[in-house]
Structure 1
């Protein structure tokens, strides 16, 4: 018996896939909406999302926004801040950053947005998608 604990399902094209990029939910933060507009075209093109999967994309986008907010707070205030007792402590936003990064990593793997999850799904085998990949870092 092969041990598969912790392995994620590989996103595969589905019959009832969303075919057009939906608008981001109105309640989303501005930064989460930016992330939505960045990743949704890729996910829709891959035909891996149904209407039931929107919560996963929302959570991924909100965690990306939380990462950005935490980094901004740390950049503004510094890595170490004084608490109410006058003691120097690590900025509390580091906890948010750590939690949001872990959540983002989990959701990105579920959605097939990591190199490892794409390779398991065969999403980039024998293709020249890197030139047109909106998620590619330039």
Structure 2
């Protein structure tokens, strides 16, 4: 019986040159994305799974999460249905952003070890305190 790994995510592993201090969020990030950055980056740095090359992946995750919050706010403010130029009620366009950003955030979260399933695959030098901190996510 063959073992197929297509589509399987690599488990985040402690890296040899980990980021040891939480970097400042990029200035161009939305306020919502910065909130997520401040929430998840300390956990990832503590787990020692990020190298300098992984910062862009964290940015993409945080931006997608920020876009989710922005889309939800737009829908809550304007309502689930809005009138188009002909006056017909249509589903709010922010639902498309919400759907796309949710899928993107889920993919990046899995890559970064931010989901329960991806955390269970993490192995390496993390001690019990690191595992407890990660579960607080």
The two structures have a TM-score, normalised by structure 2, of: 0.90
The unaligned stretches of length 5 or more in structure 2 are none
In structure 2, what is the Cα distance between the partners aligned to 1:113 and 1:35?
12
**1:69–1:22: structure 2 CA closer, same or farther, 3 Å change rule?**
same
- Paired residues in the alignment total 134
The unaligned stretches of length 5 or more in structure 1 are none
1:37: which partner in 2? Answer: 38
Deviation at 1:127, TM superposition (A): 4.1
- Does structure 1 retain, via aligned residues, the 8 Å contact 2:75–2:92? yes
In structure 2, what is the Cα distance between the partners aligned to 1:19 and 1:131?
16
Does 1:97 find its partner at 2:73? no
Query: Which is further off, 100-109 or 113-122?
Result: 113-122
2:83: which partner in 1? Answer: 82
**Larger RCO (CA under 8 A, 6+ residues apart):** 2
Deviation at 1:121, TM superposition (A): 1.6
Does 1:111 find its partner at 2:112? yes
Q: Which consecutive segments of 4 or more residues in structure 1 shift more than 3 A? A: 125-134
Query: Which is further off, 126-135 or 69-78?
Result: 126-135
Alpha carbon RMSD of aligned pairs, Å?
2.0
Deviation at 1:26, TM superposition (A): 1.2
Deviation at 1:122, TM superposition (A): 4.5
In structure 2, what is the Cα distance between the partners aligned to 1:25 and 1:126?
30
